[in-house]
């Protein structure tokens, strides 16, 4: 399955939006769709 992610490839560089290939859920696992999320501005420094 394909998904998009904001990835930090280097410290102190902007996040890059990339498309990733992920395996689907395995037996006994579930797939959860996240509809919204938040981020604190201080997360940019961790």
Q: Which residues contact 9 (CB under 8 A, 6 or more apart)?
A: 16
Q: Tell me what pLDDT residue 46 has.
A: 66
Evaluate whether 21 touches 4 at the Cβ level (below 8 Å). no
Evaluate whether 1 touches 22 at the Cβ level (below 8 Å). yes
Q: Tell me what pLDDT residue 40 has.
A: 87
Structural domain tally of the chain? 1
Domain that holds residue 14: 2-45
Q: Tell me what pLDDT residue 11 has.
A: 86
Which residues of the chain are under the pLDDT cut of 70?
Answer: 46
């Amino acid at each position: 399955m394909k998904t998009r992610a904001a990835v930090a490839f280097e410290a102190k560089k902007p996040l890059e939006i990339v498309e990733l290939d992920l395996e689907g859920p395995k037996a006994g696992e579930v797939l959860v769709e996240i509809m919204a999320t938040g981020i604190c501005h201080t997360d940019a420094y961790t």
